[in-house]
């Protein structure tokens, strides 16, 4: 069995993007044209349909019934943030990394926290080749100026409301750090590929007059080359990291996860 869930969100009400839907449609086309996957094995969830409820329901579909030898892919392109929470006494006590569904509103009910993703993926058994790609920001440093390159460049990080930003300042003063999506990957049977460090912001840019996530664009370019699908995935991410830096983008793709999977090609495709 092989399944893919590809989530791309452009139409955030308060902070729209241009590239995420292009990212996931390009990934779907890559899987069917280059990797031999069937269209029915791939589910796309985009824009207004990509609510928290819908994403969590489809994640359940993705992992349901997974057995040794299966291949699974979860690709998310959209906004990501760090989200501080308060305890029962009103004190800031925790900092989570969050991916943002289209209905994200800074409430617990509309955020997909790292802990929820951990719970969604913890039942995946050994022997399943599960790759999770997140082309989003996991950064709280939003005081950095927005750069422009050839007319268009945007960060994939939701602007912080003043009250949430103040909580983030308190969290930093307390020395709180999120458990993080990277830690989630370390403890589960999967490979997690992120577009940037958890202290950085991921960008999207206009490539040949069409917007894509910087990481997704260069990642698919690299594995689409003749030897790309035969190259172990940690080597691919290392090479893509070099290319992104050489091209002048200030983000550092990361990879974590089960050592056995890190040493295999993308989704064991070769």
137 is catalytic: yes
79 is catalytic: yes
Residue 170 φ/ψ, nearest 5 degrees: -60, -45
Give the integer Cα–Cα distance in Å for 156 and 135: 8
User: Domains of the chain (ranges plus CATH)?
Assistant: 2-268 (3.40.50.12660)
Select which of 79, 129, 138, 217 is catalytic: 79
Select which of 75, 100, 129, 137 is catalytic: 137
Nearest to 253 by CA among 78, 133, 117: 133
Give the integer Cα–Cα distance in Å for 157 and 17: 10
- The pLDDT profile of the chain, 270 residues, written as one tens digit per residue, is 999 999 999 999 989 999 999 999 999 999 999 999 999 999 999 999 999 999 999 999 999 999 999 999 999 999 999 887 776 665 665 678 899 999 999 998 999 998 899 899 999 998 999 999 999 987 544 333 344 445 688 888 888 888 888 887 888 788 776 666 666 667 788 999 999 988 788 999 999 999 999 999 999 999 998 788 899 999 999 999 999 999 999 999 999 988 889 999 998 865
Token pair recorded at residue 36: 């031999």
Q: Which residue has the tokens 């909580």?
A: 167
């Amino acid at each position: 069995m092989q399944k893919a869930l590809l989530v791309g969100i452009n139409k955030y009400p308060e902070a729209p993007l241009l590239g995420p839907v292009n990212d996931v449609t390009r990934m779907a086309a890559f899987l069917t044209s280059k990797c031999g996957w069937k269209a029915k094995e791939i589910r796309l969830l985009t824009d207004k349909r990509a609510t928290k409820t819908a994403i969590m329901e489809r994640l359940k579909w993705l992992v349901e019934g997974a057995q040794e030898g299966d291949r699974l892919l979860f690709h998310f392109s959209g906004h990501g943030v760090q989200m501080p929470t308060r305890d029962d006494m009103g004190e800031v006590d925790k900092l989570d990394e969050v991916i943002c569904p289209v209905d994200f509103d800074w409430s617990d009910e509309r955020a997909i926290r790292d802990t929820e993703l951990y719970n969604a993926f913890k039942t995946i058994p050994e022997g399943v080749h599960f790759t999770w790609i997140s082309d989003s920001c996991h950064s709280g440093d939003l005081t950095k100026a927005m750069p422009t390159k050839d007319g268009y460049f945007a960060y994939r990080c939701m602007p912080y409301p003043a009250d949430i930003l103040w909580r983030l300042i308190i969290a930093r003063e307390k020395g709180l750090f999120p458990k993080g999506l990277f830690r989630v990957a370390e403890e589960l049977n999967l490979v997690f590929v992120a577009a940037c460090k958890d202290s950085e912001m991921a960008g999207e840019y206009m490539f040949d007059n069409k917007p894509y996530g910087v990481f997704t664009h260069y990642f698919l370019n690299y594995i689409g080359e003749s030897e790309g699908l035969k190259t172990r995935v940690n080597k691919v991410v290392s090479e893509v990291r070099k290319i992104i830096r050489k091209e002048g983008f200030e983000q550092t793709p990361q990879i974590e996860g089960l050592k056995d999977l890190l040493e295999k090609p993308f989704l064991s495709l070769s």
